[in-house]
A and B are shown apart, each in its own frame.
Chain A
Amino acid sequence: KQEVTQIPAALSVPEGENLVLNCSFTDSAIYNLQWFRQDPGKGLTSLLLIQSSQREQTSGRLNASLDKSSGRSTLYIAASQPGDSATYLCAAPYGNNRLAFGKGNQVVVIP
C-alpha cells in the first residue's frame, strides 16, 4: 500500500517569498506523481504531473521535482501571491492507477 506524507501541514509566508512544499511516499515503484490544488470546499485542480523518467516538471511559477529513490517530491512556487493561498495535495499512484493522497500543505500568502 502507498502512504503519502506532506510536510509542513500548514505554512504562512509573506507575498513574494518562494514556497517549498514537501511530499514523501513509501512505495517508490511509481510511474508518475501528481500535484493538485484544492480551495476550501472545492474540487481538485491538477497542477503538474511528473513522470518517473523526469526529474523536474515546470508550469509557469510552479516547479515539481521527483526523486524516486528517496521517495520524495517537492513543489516549488516562485514569488508567491495571495491568490496562491490554498491547500496543495500530492498524490502517488499504486495498484492499477489508483491515487494515494497526502493530507496536504495548507498555504496562506500574506499580502
Chain B
Amino acid sequence: EPEVTQTPSHQVTQMGQEVILRCVPISNHLYFYWYRQILGQKVEFLVSFYNNEISEKSEIFDDQFSVERPDGSNFTLKIRSTKLEDSAMYFCASSAPGTQYFGPGTRLTVL
C-alpha cells in the first residue's frame, strides 16, 4: 500500500541553524501539507501546497519557513534559522484530494 515517507526520523540542531525536512508524498496525490505537533499539544496546520505553489498557510508559517517541490517526488520544509520553540514533531501529508495521509513524522529538537 502506498505511503508517505519522511526523512530524517529525528533531527537535532543548534539554535540559529537551518534545517530541511524531507517528504515523499504518495505518487498520484496532488495536494501536499506540513503540520507540526509540539509535545503534549494539538496537531497544527502549517502550510498546504498545490500546483507548485502555496495554497494556504497559517500564522505560524512566517518568513523563516519555506516549502519546495524540487522534483516530481520530493516535498521539503525548510526552517532558515531555528528557534527553541521550533522543537516539535513535523508531519507531512498528501491527498488526492479527499483523505489526507500522514507520514511518520520528523522529530526536530533545537538545542
Q: Which secondary structure dominates chain B's binding surface? A: strand
Q: List 13 A-B contacts (CB under 8 A).
A: A32-B98, A34-B99, A43-B91, A44-B91, A46-B100, A89-B43, A97-B48, A98-B33, A98-B56, A98-B58, A99-B45, A100-B45, A103-B42
User: Is the Cβ of B43 less than 8 Å from the Cβ of A44?
Assistant: yes
Q: In the assembled complex, which residues on chain A have CB atoms less than 8 Å from the CB atom of B95?
A: 97
Interface range for B: 20 to 34
Interface range for A: 20 to 34
- How far in angstroms is the closest Cβ of chain B from A21? 16
User: Is the Cβ of A43 less than 8 Å from the Cβ of B99?
Assistant: no
- How far in angstroms is the closest Cβ of chain A from B100? 6
User: What is the CA–CA distance of A43 and B36 in the complex, to the nearest angstrom?
Assistant: 11
Given A49-B98, A99-B45, A100-B45: A43 and B56 interface contact (C-beta under 8 Å)? no
Nearest chain-B residue to A101 (Cβ)?
B43
User: Is the Cβ of B45 less than 8 Å from the Cβ of A43?
Assistant: no
B25 within 8 A of A: no
A40-86 contacts to B, CB under 8 A, are 41-46, 49
